[in-house]
Amino acid sequence: MSPSKLIAGVFAALAAFAAVPAAAQHAKYLVTTEWLEKNLNDPGLRVVEVSVNPGLFERGHIPGASNVSWHTDLVDTVSRDIAPPAQFQAVLARAGINADTTTILYGDNNNWFAAWGAWIFDIYGIENVKILDGGRKKWEAEGRPLSNSARIQPAGNAQVKPANAALRAHLQDVLAVARKDRQGVLVDIRSADEYNGKIFAPNGVPELAVRAGHVPGAVNVTWSKLVAEDGTFKSADELKAIYQAAGVDGSKPIITYCRIGERSSHSWFALRKLLGYDVRNYDGSWTEYGNSVGSPISNPSGTVWGKT
């Protein structure tokens, strides 16, 4: 064998070796539609739908799935907070999730709210949680089975752990990075028009801020860049390249945010679970930050509330 071919072979082997951990991350935290359909009758498996559109679960869902409402089950509706421990414990019991259960989350809107669910599960230390890659969109597009009958599961015994504060960012954390009092990278995952202040929020959404724009210093990596046409996550190498192009390489702590925290949980999942970076999700997001008195903003479009 020639030296050039030997060297090429060594580099190819190294590249293949380096790709294994990245591929393993995808396999650890994602399942395919094909795999899930084959394993629906596994007694150690629980499937949970977390969608935003009301009535979607009732019109048809993956057979055996439990329904978890993002609006009521996974949040504290009084305090605008994540679900408190006792409330989330009841969700786990109702869904039949045990300590050794493998839980598969899926939903509509490219798994935005399923990713929010994965974030909440992670905060409370529930293990063996995966997302159905492509969510409802891919499952339905492939003509896989749907059911409109609810299955009552035996009460689950999984126990919540103390909330992991390292996964969640608050307003003061974002301000500290924006003011350069703390090292970190802010990733705004909203559309370019939202980031630049051209619009206050996507059309038809009720949650608004009185200011448009973004947190000073934040980079814009729209969530939709992370997925393929069928809603599945892109490969780890593709994800790394997307973020590196925006100056995000995992060398500094990352905070993701959007408007209310659901789209940013999708990016949090990609950055933390699929790439292994140190990431927190700021669920207060722009509806809190943009409305908070004294918080600096960047608004390249110069839009003013009431004059658009």
Residues with catalytic function: 258
Q: Which residues make beta-bridge pairs with 185?
A: 254
Q: How many CA atoms lie within 13 A of 266 on its CB side?
A: 33
Q: Report the candidate in 109, 121, 138 with the shortest Cα–Cα distance to residue 51.
A: 109
Structure tokens at 35: 């795999």
Q: Which two three-digit tokens encode residue 205?
A: 């959404």
Beta strands per DSSP E along the chain: 30-31, 45-49, 66-67, 75-76, 81-82, 102-106, 129-132, 168-169, 185-188, 219-220, 254-257, 279-282
- Identify the sign of the CA torsion 266, 271, 272, 276: positive
> At 188, which amino acid appears?
D
Of the candidates 195, 29, 191, which has an alpha carbon nearest to the alpha carbon of residue 119? 29
Q: Are 281 and 261 in contact (CB under 8 A)?
A: yes
